[in-house]
Amino acid sequence: MKNILFIGCGHMGSALLGAWIKDKNNKITVVDPLKYKHIKKKYKIDAFESANLIQNVNIFDIVVLAVTPQLVDKVLEKYKLLRFKKTCVIVSIIAGKKINILKKAIPNVSQMIRVMPNMPALVGESVSFLVPSRNTSNKNKNNIYKLFSQVGIVFWLKKEKEIDIATAISGSGPGYIFYLINALEKAANELGLNKKINERIILQTLIGSLKLIQHSKKSSKKLANEIAIKGGTTEAGIKVLKKNNINKILSQTLKSAYKKAIFLSKK
């Protein structure tokens, strides 16, 4: 039995909670001043408004930090003097907060793992990047790997600074995809088909394309070239993308997100 404490339970925290609670080997407790009543009622678990209401924090094997970067300093101040067990591991999904900063915030815990999952964890299709502190035990590494494997695929990183790159690509990636889908829907609506039909055909086109490339041995470039036959409609559309330098736009998108991740990590 693994005793897990969630500190905060926003969108990503809720996604993880929803997946992990299905495992009967997990006993989960949540502290969230805004959602504790809802969580307690929905999941039939212990949920508290404040950490002060927890009788014994020494029972927890895993503590998940799932608060926003803007609130982390204020929230963790309440946990600074709490005595967690020596084998406890802190798991942080807070963007931009380095391990050394977290160790100062919760000095009584020495084992920490930073994780950058993404929102498809809600449907079990997340990409999670993990980087541990030096003294994190293999047992804790394995436990956290197994937990995040329940919501998607998992990659270990060798250096903490690489998590900023992962944040720009994968952490923020679904946001880019959703924005592009919305733009494609707006463009399709201008052509005159029914709005609801456009939403369905664009979504299915995306799903079908992803499944095709997933099962194909061909590269994305090769597949695009095969569809864009000379003198055809796809070639005409791709010419516009090339003319407007879509590669440069996406490169700037990732670089901007990466710079922001670095900036947040320095605060």
**pLDDT, mean of each 10-residue run, the chain (267 residues):** 93 93 94 94 94 89 91 84 91 89 88 95 95 95 96 95 93 96 96 94 96 96 95 96 97 95 81
pTM: 0.89
The answer for residues whose C-beta is within 8 angstroms of residue 147's C-beta and 6 or more apart is: 16, 20, 62
Other residues' Cβ atoms within 10 Å of the Cβ of residue 164: 23
Q: What pLDDT, on the 0 to 100 scale, is given for residue 77?
A: 85
Q: What pLDDT, on the 0 to 100 scale, is given for residue 73?
A: 81
Name the H helices within the chain: 11-20, 36-43, 72-76, 99-105, 138-149, 162-166, 173-189, 195-215, 220-227, 233-243, 246-266
Q: What pLDDT, on the 0 to 100 scale, is given for residue 37?
A: 95
Q: What pLDDT, on the 0 to 100 scale, is given for residue 14?
A: 93
| Burial class (CB within 10 angstroms; exposed 0-12, middle 13-18, buried 19+) of 210 | exposed
In angstroms, rounded to a whole number, what is the distance separating the alpha carbons of residues 29 and 106? Answer: 18
Q: What pLDDT, on the 0 to 100 scale, is given for residue 185?
A: 96
Instruction: Return the SS3 of 158.
Output: coil
